[in-house]
């Protein structure tokens, strides 16, 4: 299996966990020192623990992921232990009929005895017109 295949497999598992609101499996995809930049959050999150705390606050407000679809996937292998995954995501949240359209970059690092873990995630709105997506 190539590094690209490995990263695509790990990214698919991360997206699946997110899309099914499997919180434990989703956060297990990230290294403890991972950082996060979301257009929906006023500050960047400097650790997985900070993101988990933010996630719990969203859940208290009714946040729940119903589905997430990934497309336009690309993997850029930087070294044998670092790769950048980019894709477009379409997410449906509980309580809304609207699909959130975003683009995402996730940096993965191969960790001894843990495999590939996400160490940085950046999410931004997708400006592509809906009919062109």
Which class in CATH covers the domain with range 3-132? alpha beta
68 has pLDDT over 60: yes
Instruction: In whole angstroms, give the CA distance from residue 93 to residue 77.
Output: 32
pTM of the model as a whole: 0.93
Per domain, the residue ranges of the chain are: 3-132
107 has pLDDT over 80: yes
The per-residue pLDDT for 132 is 57
- pLDDT tens digit string along 77-94? 999 999 999 999 999 999
The per-residue pLDDT for 131 is 62
- Nearest residue to 29 (alpha-carbon basis) of 45, 52, 46: 52
Cα–Cα separations (whole angstroms), residue 72 to 53, 92, 108, 133: 30, 18, 18, 10
Which residues on adjacent β-strands are paired with residue 109? 82, 117
- Nearest residue to 115 (alpha-carbon basis) of 36, 47, 29: 29
pLDDT interval class at 114 (50, 70, 90): confident
pLDDT interval class at 43 (50, 70, 90): very high
């Amino acid at each position: 299996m190539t590094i690209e295949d490995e990263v695509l497999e790990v990214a698919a598992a991360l997206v699946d966990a997110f899309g099914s609101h499997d919180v434990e499996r989703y956060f297990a995809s990230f290294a403890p020192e991972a950082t996060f930049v979301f257009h929906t959050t006023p500050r960047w999150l400097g650790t997985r623990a900070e993101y988990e705390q933010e996630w719990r606050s969203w859940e208290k407000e009714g946040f729940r992921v119903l589905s997430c679809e990934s497309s336009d996937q690309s993997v850029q292998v930087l070294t044998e232990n670092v790769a950048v995954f980019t894709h477009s995501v379409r997410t449906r949240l509980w309580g809304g009929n609207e699909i959130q359209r975003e683009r995402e970059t996730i940096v993965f690092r191969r960790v001894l005895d843990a495999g590939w873990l996400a160490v940085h995630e950046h999410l931004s709105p997708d400006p592509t017109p809906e009919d062109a997506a």
